[in-house]
Amino acid sequence: MTDTAMADAPAKAATGGNILQVRNLEAWYGESHILHGINFDVNAGEVVTLLGRNGAGKTTTLKSIMGIIGKRTGSIKFNNQDIIRSTSDKIARMGIAFCPEERGIFSSLDVRENLLLPPVVRAGGLPLEQIFDLFPNLKERLNSQGTKLSGGEQQMLAIARILRTGASFLMLDEPTEGLAPVIIQQIGHTIARLKKEGFTILLVEQNFRFASTVADRYYVVEHGKIIDGFANSELAANMDKLHTYLGV
């Protein structure tokens, strides 16, 4: 799909109504122009994955949606409300939650405090029992310092803490990065289960083998633009192209 085609007709969604609509999104870090007109949609209940090489603009796209990039233009509509000018705290209160690539576990807080830190923004968040059911390790480490956990446990904590806030739209930035295969598998099961629970998930991944186990649709980001998009059912047919895009 060409850039223009993507702008006009984002990849068709399979599930519920449109929840996020991004049009002509541009973003800057200081003087550096990172995003050059991103266009895509996410529908309710979907898992959509942004694929792309390092530095393509995937993380910046998530950060722009979350409102933590200083300068951004274009349009980001969440539940038909334009949030491009909203601050990140207001965006979070609309029901969007962000799990950053670096996990953002606070060293001055123990696991319990890290878990309970994000305020509940609306009803419908997972109760703690259900979170411990998803991540049993966390229950045993509640009094440990957050940064004393293993990489996998920290990732679980980073995902767990946004599940109880009531946010229905989760943005996960490379949740499998640097983790052992068995943990990656566990994160995959968790994402699948969250989808079943009705969460909508926007995932950033470089590991498309992992993404293929959870995603409904893919967008490929390169040089700050969406250059292609396809459904999971079309993955096999697009494999060659994908290898070229990702340089694998």
Partner 1 sequence: MQALYAQLLVGLINGSFYALLSLGLAVIFGMLNIINFAHGALYMMGAFCAYFLLNLVGLNYWWALLIAPILVGIFGMILERTMLQWLTGLDHLYGLLLTFGIALIVQGVFQNYFGSSGLPYAIPDQLKGGINLGFMFLPIYRAWVVIFSLVICVATWFLIEKTRLGAYLRAATENPTLVRAFGVNVPRMITLTYGLGVGLAALAGVLSAPINQVRPLMGADLIIVVFAVVVIGGMGSIMGSIITGFALGVIEGLTKYFYPEASNTVVFVLMVLVLLVKPTGLTGRAA
Min dist. Cβ of residue 115 to partner 1 (A): 10
List binders of partner 1 among 76-105 (CB under 8 A): 87-89, 91-93, 97-98, 100, 104
Note whether 211 and 177 are within 8 A (CB).
no
In the block, residue with structure tokens 């969440």: 78
Strands 18-29 and 71-78: antiparallel
The DSSP symbol for 152 reads H
- Judged by CB under 8 A, the number of residues near partner 1 is 25
Note whether 152 and 106 are within 8 A (CB).
no
d(CA 8, CA 158): 35
Choose which of 14, 116, 239, 248 interacts with partner 1 (CB under 8 A): 116
Choose which of 107, 150, 233, 244 interacts with partner 1 (CB under 8 A): 107
Two tokens, residue 117: 């830190």
Helix axes 151-163, 181-196, angle to 10 degrees: 10
List binders of partner 1 among 3-62 (CB under 8 A): none
d(CA 2, CA 170): 28
Strands 71-78 and 81-82: antiparallel
Q: Which is nearer to partner 1, 6 or 69 (CB)?
A: 69
Q: Does 165 bind partner 1 (CB under 8 A)?
A: yes
Q: Does 67 bind partner 1 (CB under 8 A)?
A: yes
Min dist. Cβ of residue 67 to partner 1 (A): 7
Min dist. Cβ of residue 98 to partner 1 (A): 5
List binders of partner 1 among 186-245 (CB under 8 A): none
Q: Does 154 bind partner 1 (CB under 8 A)?
A: no
Binding site for partner 1 (CB under 8 A): 66-68, 87-89, 91-93, 97-98, 100, 104, 106-109, 113, 116-119, 121, 162, 165
